[in-house]
Amino acid sequence: METLLEPTVANTACEDRSDRYCVIGAGAAGLTAAKNLLEYGIAVDVIERASDVGGTWNPGCPTSAAYPSIHLITSKPFIRYTDFPIPDDYPTYLGQRHIMSYLRSYAAHFGVREHIEFDSSVESADRVDGGPDWIVRVRTADGVSERRYGGLVIANGHNWSPRRPEIPGVFHGLTMHSADYKGQDVLRGKRVLVVGAGTSGCDIAVESSQSAAQTFLSVRRGNYIWPKYMFGIPTDAYYELILKFRMPRPLVRAMGKPLLRLNSPGNPLRFGLPRPEHKLLEEHFVMNSTLLYHLGHGEIGVKPDIVELCGDRVRFADGSTEQVDVIVYATGYRQAEFPFIDRKHLNWSDGPIPELHLHAFHPEYDNLFVIGYVQISTGTWPIMDYQSQIMGRYLYLLKTDPRRAARFRAAKANPVHGPELNGGIDFYRSERHWLQVEHVSYRKRLRKLAKQLAVTPVGSTPR
């Protein structure tokens, strides 16, 4: 969400909506946040800048990174919300249209859609002087108005602000970030350089190789390339099965490497990819079943880091140069962007990210939550759901049973965050891992908390 120009205020008076919460974003996080608040009798307004739900998966959203051929890297059982199954006739790995269909169905089924204000955005949110409420400035088609809300849920995601590298020199061709990529038509017949070998970079390089005149992949450091299936089952299902037995990490690594070799066309080093500097599990997974195939057929060339842009050519760290027409920077996203709220409200001191309990719960404020601000090696939607269940139940207990709520309030006052959530894994030190947690132990914490706070939702039965 970008900072907007100073608007013309439509209503000078502040509209009192202190009986409800403002949820910023109607992506996967915002939808489950709103659903769980409504479930526990808390009214909501969901502010969404696009004209449909979905967030980054909605191709009509200004900050969407989705393109027609994109697919999830998490299989159905591990991406679904906890109480809303994915239809059986959907593929194992959902594509963009299936993702949007599922999220729309979720919003409609739980009555969230009627609470969403589409084509609107939050410009700023600040605490009311002398009180806990929030003054939120909302831009709509009619201008900007100020509203007073009783609580705030930030669910605008963390993969919307592209990180673009600064490279010496000048390039005369077309450049774009992977967030701007909307299909291979722009690459057809061109000499294409994809920079970055994460999952997005590998996927785009493979797609480019099918229509471009030549495709190169610039790789700064090595990764373990996992196929989407191992022994005929989705890789994440196999991984979850191994982790279920709580094997020591050294043993999981010892098993993982030979399994990876057995399910791979060959050693990635043979195809020109650099050797990973990190141990297995210390880096967010790269999932791609066809990259090595196309490398082996000479349809993608591997290059090291770029050192200079030279007009219509690019010079690399090994001294080689290549003529290039299009550069696609698959270089990730900035992980600490909250332009609409002062960092003082996020318990943000000198660290790279806010110090929130479990990356979601403010240690002091009882009416500020950040849902989905976490990076894991499996599906995030159920994780967001658990976070939202805890939020909804906690707020309900604050009104109905303060003694039960006090235990969680005391816990979040001393936030568990950052390295404490790594499950003993020393994740590779890069910006993309600022939010990384070990998903099995993190998910277990959330489930335990949700169970401790379990109550009967308004007009429903206990889950």
Q: Which string of DSSP letters, residue by residue, matches 337-374?
A: --TTB-GGGGT--SSSS---BTTTB-SS-SSEEE-S--
pLDDT (tens digit, 9 = 90+) per residue, 83-136?
Answer: 999 999 999 999 999 999 999 999 999 999 999 999 999 999 999 987 899 999
**HSE-CB for 77 with a 13 A CA cutoff:** 9
The number of helices, as runs of H, and strands, as runs of E, in the chain is: 10, 20
pLDDT (tens digit, 9 = 90+) per residue, 279-294?
Answer: 777 777 789 999 999 9
Residue 10 confidence class, pLDDT cut points 50, 70, 90: very low
Say which residue, 244 or 311, is predicted with more confidence.
311
Average pLDDT in the 290-304 region? Answer: 96
Q: Are strands 306-311 and 169-171 parallel, antiparallel or unpaired?
A: parallel
How high is the pLDDT of residue 8?
A: 37
Q: Which of 213, 221, 188, 185 is nearest to 302 (CA)?
A: 221
How high is the pLDDT of residue 428?
A: 59
Say which residue, 103 or 223, is predicted with more confidence.
103
Say which residue, 463 or 99, is predicted with more confidence.
99
How high is the pLDDT of residue 425?
A: 67
How high is the pLDDT of residue 378?
A: 86
pLDDT (tens digit, 9 = 90+) per residue, 178-197?
Answer: 999 999 999 999 999 999 99
Residue 53 confidence class, pLDDT cut points 50, 70, 90: very high
| Residue 314 clears pLDDT 70, i.e. is over it | yes
pLDDT (tens digit, 9 = 90+) per residue, 332-380?
Answer: 998 878 999 999 999 998 888 899 999 999 999 999 999 999 988 889 9
How high is the pLDDT of residue 350?
A: 83
Q: What share of the chain has pLDDT > 70, as a percent?
A: 93
pLDDT (tens digit, 9 = 90+) per residue, 25-36?
Answer: 999 999 999 999
Average pLDDT in the 153-176 region? Answer: 94
Residue 423 confidence class, pLDDT cut points 50, 70, 90: low
How high is the pLDDT of residue 328?
A: 98
Global pTM value: 0.92
Q: Return the DSSP state at 319.
A: S
> Which helix (H) or strand (E) is 382 found in, with range?
helix 381-400
Q: Worst-scoring range by mean pLDDT, 41-45, 73-77, 435-439?
A: 435-439
Say which residue, 253 or 80, is predicted with more confidence.
80
How high is the pLDDT of residue 431?
A: 60
Cβ pair 75, 93 in contact under 8 A: yes
pLDDT (tens digit, 9 = 90+) per residue, 431-442?
Answer: 666 778 888 889
Residue 419 confidence class, pLDDT cut points 50, 70, 90: confident
**Distances, alpha carbon 216 to alpha carbons 12, 145, 316, 326, 385, in Å:** 55, 49, 11, 10, 39
- Mapped onto helix, strand or coil, the DSSP state of residue 146 is strand
How high is the pLDDT of residue 1?
A: 39
Alpha carbons 384 and 186: distance in angstroms, whole number: 35
Alpha carbons 111 and 106: distance in angstroms, whole number: 8
- Mapped onto helix, strand or coil, the DSSP state of residue 311 is strand
- The type of residue at 419 is P
Q: Which of 362, 352, 328 is nearest to 434 (CA)?
A: 352
Average pLDDT in the 47-62 region? Answer: 96
Residue 9 confidence class, pLDDT cut points 50, 70, 90: very low
Alpha carbons 379 and 423: distance in angstroms, whole number: 17
How high is the pLDDT of residue 215?
A: 98
Write down the mean pLDDT value for the chain. Answer: 90
How high is the pLDDT of residue 3?
A: 39
How high is the pLDDT of residue 368?
A: 98
Alpha carbons 66 and 60: distance in angstroms, whole number: 9
How high is the pLDDT of residue 114?
A: 98
